Each structure stands twice: as structure tokens, then as C-alpha cells.
Amino acid sequence: MPRHTDTLDPATLRFAQALTDPCLIVDARTWLHFANSAAIRLFADLRLAAPLALSLRNPALLGLLQSAIADTAHRTAELSMTSPQQLHFRANVSPLPPLGDVRNGPVPLFVIHLVDQTEQFRLDRMRSDFVANASHELRTPLTALIGFIETLAGPAANDPPAQAKFLAIMRTQAERMSNLVDDLLSLSRIEMRQHLPPSGTVNLNHLAREVVEAMRHRANEAGLAIKFVPAAGRPQVTGDRAELHQAIENLLDNALKYGAGGNRIEVTVGASGEFSRTEYEIAVTDHGAGVAADHVPRLTERFYRVDTGASQTGKGTGLGLAIVKHIVSRHRGEMTIVSTPGQGMRVGVHLPGQNAGSQETSNK
């Protein structure tokens, strides 16, 4: 057990060592007497029998410690650390009550307990960013609608051609808001079921063909041909048919929006050779503008858009691939994105197969 002195109460040391959070014990001079295993893993340079400031250079934490020592009182604060990595903690500093005979004036000791809040901080920031982005995405078309309503009620009140033009734009903006609300609700529903494994049986050939045929008319209007290549046999997975339908639809919708200029889109169902725990892959490939490699890791972030002509015209909500990512995660699958500027993008959804002998259910 890592410690500096045997004068510490053994029961206290055992308790501190058992904590999964970093725990340090220092004296009133801030000399380090004890560090549990969690603290040593986090701060590899800790030096016992030396002032804490020599091995842990965090002014906020040291200031909190000095305040607790000065008042011999409990102190707590939210702290951030950038070394050895970006971390966020709730730091608690408390005086350690002396045990036994204190007439000889034992050296006062203080316990520093660090509760890792990095994940909570990340979730809070993500939630804040999500609200800000959603508000912005809704505010833009809403502002346009208000402006056109004022124009129709004023300068264009007696101008039928202008009214027809503005009403068409207003309809487009209203549809944009409606699509965004639908995607937000869809994302919320998927997140609520994230930890509930799906139980239905889905034939990927049947499902992918259904989505392709439903969107073929849109592809023709966009001047794009869709080529569908099914897998051999009966590629069946355990899954939520509605969610997998939405995932394929979102991938194909994304390809139709951003694959202009490529003339064709391929939708393939086949074997998954990239991950040991997945058996089948559904891939959607376009031959449009593509994106640079540095954008690829962020494409599944909510509201993230590459600065392209398609994104500037507001064709999408910025949630399509984020929804696919959550659906794939719920199905214990993997998602791959490969893109080259000027050559297009390939998005693959890799799913575990179903045990042989399973029959398709009403979830088909």
C-alpha cells in the first residue's frame, strides 16, 4: 500500500485504498503522506514525503487545499485539469479527525478526494451544444417565415405574383422546420431505447430493396440511378425493422442530397469483413463531391455539416447520420465512412447476424 508514514490509522488507509476515486492524504504543510492506487494511476509523478506542489501543479486544487488548512474546514470546488489529460473533477478537501490521544499534538491531516466528472461534463456540454444548435436551426426558417408574413401583410398585400413566390418559399421553410422536428423526435425515441436490445428478425435484402424502390422516384428526379446488389442467401439479423429502415433511408437520402454529379448510387448488401462480431454489411455509395479526410470523424455529430453547396442551401437537418449512428449502436453494430474529395462517399452499416434456423417474424 503506497504511503509515507506508519502513523496513519490502518483502517483509514484501507478505506482510502479501496476507493475507486483518487484519494490523497496530506499534512498541514501540504506534504503528501498517502496516495491510493487510483491517484497514482492518474498522477504518475506523485512524490511521497514531499510538498504536494512539487508533483501536482494545479493552482486551483492547491488553493483549495490551503483554504481548508487555514480554516481547518471542509472545502469543495469544481476543477479542471489539462495534464495528464483534459479532466474535470469535483474536489473535496476535509480535515482528518485525529484518533486516540491527541495531547502530544499530532500533525493535522487532510484528505483530498477527487470525483471524476469528465463524462458528466462532456454530456452537459453536448446537451448545451445540442440545445443551441437546435435553436439556431429552428430560428433561421422561423425568422424567414416572420419576414415573409410581414411582407405579405404589407408591401405585397396587393401583388399576387409576389404572394405566390413568397408563399412557395414559406412552404419550403415550414417543411424544413417540420423535418427538423421529426428528426429531433426520432433521435429522442432512439436514445430512449438505446439500452433495449431489439428482438425482431429482419431480412436485409428485403428491407434494402424496399427502401431503394421507395426512393427511386426521387433519384430519377435528381438525375441519379440507383443500383441495388443483394447478398446471396438470406441475410437475416436480429433488429428493429422500423429503425433499420430509417437507417438505410437516411443513408440513401444523404447520398441523393450530396451525390449530385456522380450519376449513380450503389446500395449493396453483403458480408462484413471488417469486424469480427458482425456478419452483414449494408453499404450506400455515391460518386459525388465527397469530403476531406479530416471531416469524416465528425460526420456523425449532430448538426455537423461540411461547408458544401448542398449544406449551404439547407438541404438537410444535420441529424441524418447521427440518427444512423444511434440505430447502429442499439443493434450492437459498427459504422464505417470512407470518402475521397471528388470521388464520393461510402457509408457501411455492419450488423451481427442471426443464429441459423431463425424464422422471420411479423417484424419483417
SS (H, E, C) the chain: CCECCCCCCHHHHHHHHHCCCCEEEEECCCEEEEECHHHHHHCCCCCCCCEHHHCCCCHHHHHHHHHHHHHCCCEEEEEEECCCCCEEEEEEEEEECCCCCCCCCCCCEEEEEEEECHHHHHHHHHHHHHHHHHHHHHHHHHHHHHHHHHHHHCCCCCCHHHHHHHHHHHHHHHHHHHHHHHHHHHHHHHHHCCCCCCCCEEEHHHHHHHHHHHHHHHHHHCCCEEEEECCCCCCEEECCHHHHHHHHHHHHHHHHHHCCCCCEEEEEEEECCCCCCCCEEEEEEECCCCCCCCCHHHCCCCCCCCCCHHHHCCCCCCCHHHHHHHHHHHCCCEEEEEEECCCEEEEEEEECCCCCCCCCCCCC
pLDDT of residue 364: 46
CA dist 201 to 17, 226, 250, Å? 48, 26, 21
Region at 72 (left for phi over 0; alpha for psi -120 to 50; beta for the rest): left
Tell whether 265 and 130 lie within a shared domain: no
Tell whether 264 and 276 lie within a shared domain: yes
Please check whether residue 5 lies inside any domain of the structure.
Answer: no
Please check whether residue 1 lies inside any domain of the structure.
Answer: no
pLDDT of residue 281: 95
Tell whether 253 and 125 lie within a shared domain: no
Please check whether residue 271 lies inside any domain of the structure.
Answer: yes
Tell whether 216 and 311 lie within a shared domain: yes
Tell whether 128 and 108 lie within a shared domain: no
Tell whether 79 and 20 lie within a shared domain: yes
Tell whether 271 and 161 lie within a shared domain: no
pLDDT of residue 315: 59
Q: In this structure, are residues 259 and 224 in contact, taking their beta carbons and an 8 Å threshold? A: yes
Please check whether residue 2 lies inside any domain of the structure.
Answer: no
pLDDT of residue 212: 96
Residues 6+ apart with CB under 8 A from 345: 255, 258, 259, 285, 286, 288, 290, 291, 337, 338, 339
CA–CA gap between residue 150 and residue 161 (Å, rounded): 16
pLDDT of residue 329: 93
Tell whether 56 and 188 lie within a shared domain: no
The cell for 210 is 424496399
Q: Among the three residues 93, 116, 139, which one is the final residue of a domain in this structure? A: 116
Tell whether 204 and 331 lie within a shared domain: yes
The pTM of this model reads 0.64
pLDDT of residue 307: 63
Please check whether residue 144 lies inside any domain of the structure.
Answer: yes
Q: Among the three residues 82, 100, 116, which one is the final residue of a domain in this structure? A: 116
Residue at grid coordinates 447520420: 321
**How many domains, the chain?**
3
Please check whether residue 3 lies inside any domain of the structure.
Answer: no
Query: Domain range holding 26?
Result: 10-116
Could you list the pLDDT tens digit for every one of the 364 residues in the chain? 344 444 577 888 888 888 999 999 998 899 998 999 999 988 888 888 899 998 888 899 999 999 999 988 999 999 888 766 788 999 999 998 765 444 445 568 899 999 999 888 887 877 777 777 778 778 888 888 998 899 888 888 888 888 999 899 899 888 888 888 888 888 888 888 888 889 899 999 999 999 999 999 999 988 899 999 999 999 999 999 999 999 999 999 999 988 877 789 999 999 998 888 899 999 999 998 888 988 998 889 888 777 655 444 445 678 889 999 999 999 999 999 999 998 899 999 999 988 633 444 444 4
**Domain containing residue 242: CATH number:** 3.30.565.10
Tell whether 229 and 311 lie within a shared domain: yes
**Domain containing residue 167: CATH number:** 1.10.287.130
Tell whether 208 and 333 lie within a shared domain: yes
Please check whether residue 35 lies inside any domain of the structure.
Answer: yes
CA–CA gap between residue 226 and residue 284 (Å, rounded): 10
pLDDT of residue 2: 44
pLDDT of residue 352: 93
Q: Among the three residues 164, 192, 220, which one is the final residue of a domain in this structure? A: 192
Please check whether residue 4 lies inside any domain of the structure.
Answer: no
Tell whether 341 and 208 lie within a shared domain: yes
**Domain containing residue 26: CATH number:** 3.30.450.20
pLDDT of residue 228: 96
CA–CA gap between residue 134 and residue 106 (Å, rounded): 58
Report the chain's C-alpha Rg in angstroms. Answer: 29
